[in-house]
Amino acid sequence: MLNRHARGFFTALFTPIARWLLKMGVSPDAITIVGTAGVVVGALVFYPLGQLFWGTVFITAFIFSDVIDGIMARMQNLGGRWGNFLDSSLDRLADGALFAGLAIWFFTGGADAPIAIAAVVCLVLGMVVSYVRAKAESLGFTANVGIAERAERLVSVLVITGLTGAGLPPVVLLATLVLLAAASLVTVVQRVLAVRVQSLEDSEQT
């Protein structure tokens, strides 16, 4: 998937920044929190005002904190459960704010109910995608499969939203959200089936 293929490139790109931040005494947790706050502000302030282009620019400036904090944690050998928990929890908050901001605008000033509804559906299914994996792992299963991981969802929504704010016909954003919702649903099914297969294998072994 995109996040795995691009990891090496972005790690090389942001490693000097991560190293500099550590020298300045900044912690990985601080970057995680600031990055999430920036995304939330961009999504819930700019988007509801109809500033889709500038909102996307603002969000993009903070979205890479998710890469930088991981690099910093690895440099300090702090890639433990706390950092993973904090990062995953705040990712859900950022994702929810992104789709909520779109829904608010298109339910109000944007006056496009289909796009607003599609954004809400993406919000819900995105949370279910993450929950299914987390629940599976808490029970000892693995569910890291699927065609719609977080990186794909973020890139597709941010790019098309920004272009919509720059003049792209809104129908393209609608199509993107519908496809994303469908991909998220397929991912949920894939993960449920993966866990089901593992549970049956466990039953056969006992």
**Catalytically active residues, by annotation:** 91
Query: Are 35 and 66 a contacting pair, CB within 8 Å?
Result: yes
Residue 51: exposure state from Cβ atoms within 10 A (0-12, 13-18, ≥19): middle
Query: Are 181 and 147 a contacting pair, CB within 8 Å?
Result: no
Torsion of CA 33, 34, 40, 42, to 10 degrees: -170
Which three-class secondary structure state does DSSP give residue 149?
coil
Query: Are 157 and 123 a contacting pair, CB within 8 Å?
Result: no
